[in-house]
């Protein structure tokens, strides 16, 4: 056996264990990195053919294998912008260079412009919300994606369209007696409009009801009839006329009056409410399991705005890892397929949660001890070869 060959083999062994230690160091350093996927070092032998009965020592090579498809445990947080994927798939994020990447790191924070950026500086991407159209499956591309923005809705107002008005009309009123009340409705721009309601006794068990806004009629007198028990016979509801109001509109209102009565008591409104609301700004947001991001307005309106994009590849472990805990597609990973959470091969999105690193510290420390021992053993082989070579050289002295 060649002494120099044995020394070269020992050196390759030390290099291999040094590579393994480098991978272990990365894993331990990122044990608390959200969405981090551990790396393993795989070994392969390189055997040299024997010649004339002489054994030629070979060497050992290393390759790197990533466990990207291995899901980590979940940690729950108090931040609704923290996101985790329960199942397969990746978030699509845009880097500082404007290119799109894949990641499992969902520790996003809302920025001053309303976008969601994770700890590595990558911006969460998605599609404008549509209740009818799924995204077109994209091969090797991210066309149509836009940055998710939780403050893009601006202010909003909800115009009134329906309501309820239930009143008791005094059974002892004389013909011609009038009872009045009012209701607040909102026009299409969120301005409050006060509607005057007027009930007039027209006969036994008979009244009319009319409505107006600042003297303009929105409901011509409608006859109300009651039975001998004072319960309303007809009609069950009222429909007002729409009004054009200097660039805005008060829409037609459907008002339920079915609970009205005529009893021997004073005029009283039991229920009087109209839907709609004044103009208000965004007060928060919520993210559903299928990735729909809805803006919540101060007036209570919830409006879907974006749908978070998900991506996957045929062989996730062959993705190319890049700085910032992100991945890019490679020839071996297969093409990137875009979709939505909860559909196909894509997992569901969990808010107020983070996927932990899949590093097992006990396993890594065990591997570190093994690497140390094997490195030391290889160094002993090198040292022994060096001593034998020195002995061989000294034979000439």
Domains and CATH numbers, the chain: 3-67+358-394 (no CATH), 74-155+282-355 (no CATH), 157-279 (2.60.98.20)
Q: Write out residues in the chain with pLDDT < 70, as ranges.
A: 1, 50, 53, 134-140, 153, 396-397
pLDDT at 7: 87
Percent of the chain with pLDDT over 70: 96
pLDDT at 140: 61
CB 162, CB 251: distance < 8 Å: no
Position 271 scores a pLDDT of 94
CA distance linking residue 395 with residue 397, whole number of Å: 6
What is the pLDDT at residue 397? Answer: 65
Is the pTM higher than 0.75? The answer reads no
Output phi, psi for 290, to 5 deg: -95, 15
Residue 233: predicted pLDDT: 97
According to DSSP, the residues that pair with 337 across neighbouring strands are 312
pLDDT (0 to 100) of residue 4? 79
Compute the distance between CA of residue 323 and CA of residue 119 in angstroms, rounded to an integer.
12
Contact yes or no for 65/317 (Cβ under 8 A): yes
Q: What per-residue confidence (pLDDT) applies to 293?
A: 93
pLDDT at residue 32 in the model: 94
- Residues 6+ positions from 117 with CB-CB distance below 8 Å: 108, 109, 111, 123, 124
User: Which tens digits make up the pLDDT trace of 290-330?
Assistant: 999 998 888 778 889 999 999 999 999 999 999 999 999 99
Q: Which residues pair with 162 in a beta bridge?
A: 254
Helix or strand (DSSP H, E) at 380: helix 361-394
Encode pLDDT of 376-386 as tens digits: 999 999 999 88
Residue 8's pLDDT is: 87
| pLDDT number for residue 201 | 97
């Amino acid at each position: 056996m060649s002494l120099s060959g044995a020394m070269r083999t020992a050196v390759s062994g030390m290099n291999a264990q040094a590579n393994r230690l480098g991978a272990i160091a990365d894993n331990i350093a990122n044990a608390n990195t959200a969405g981090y996927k551990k790396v393993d070092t795989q070994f392969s032998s390189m055997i040299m053919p024997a010649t004339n009965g002489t054994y030629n020592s070979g060497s050992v090579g290393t390759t790197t294998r990533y466990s990207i498809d291995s899901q980590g445990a979940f940690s729950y947080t108090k931040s609704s912008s923290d996101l985790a994927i329960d199942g397969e798939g990746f978030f699509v994020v845009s880097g500082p260079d404007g290119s799109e990447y894949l990641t499992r790191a969902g520790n996003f924070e809302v920025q001053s412009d309303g976008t969601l950026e994770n700890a590595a500086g990558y911006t969460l991407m998605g599609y404008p919300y549509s209740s009818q159209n799924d995204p077109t499956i994209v091969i090797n591309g991210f066309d149509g994606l836009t940055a998710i923005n939780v403050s893009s809705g601006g202010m909003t107002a909800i115009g009134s369209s329906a309501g309820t008005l239930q009143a008791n009309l005094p059974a002892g009123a004389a013909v011609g007696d009038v009872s009045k009340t009012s209701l607040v409705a909102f026009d299409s721009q969120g301005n409050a409009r006060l509607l005057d309601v007027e009930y007039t006794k027209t006969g036994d068990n008979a009244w009319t009801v009319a409505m107006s806004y600042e003297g303009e009629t929105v409901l011509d007198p409608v006859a109300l009839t009651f039975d001998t028990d004072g319960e309303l016979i007809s009609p069950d509801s009222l429909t007002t006329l729409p009004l054009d109001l200097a660039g805005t509109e008060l829409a037609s209102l459907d008002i339920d009056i079915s609970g009205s009565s005529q009893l021997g008591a004073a005029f009283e409104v039991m229920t009087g409410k109209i839907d709609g609301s004044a103009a208000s700004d965004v007060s928060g947001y919520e993210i559903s399991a299928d990735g729909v991001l809805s803006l919540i307005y101060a007036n209570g309106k919830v409006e879907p705005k974006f749908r978070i994009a998900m991506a996957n590849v045929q062989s996730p472990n062959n993705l190319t890892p890049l700085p910032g805990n992100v991945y890019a597609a490679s020839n071996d990973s297969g093409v990137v397929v875009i979709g939505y959470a909860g559909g196909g091969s894509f997992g569901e999105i969990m808010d107020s949660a983070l996927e932990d690193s899949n590093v097992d510290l006990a396993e890594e420390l065990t591997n570190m001890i093994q690497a140390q021992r094997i490195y030391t053993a290889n160094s002993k082989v090198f040292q022994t070869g060096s001593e034998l070579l020195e002995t061989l050289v000294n034979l000439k002295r």
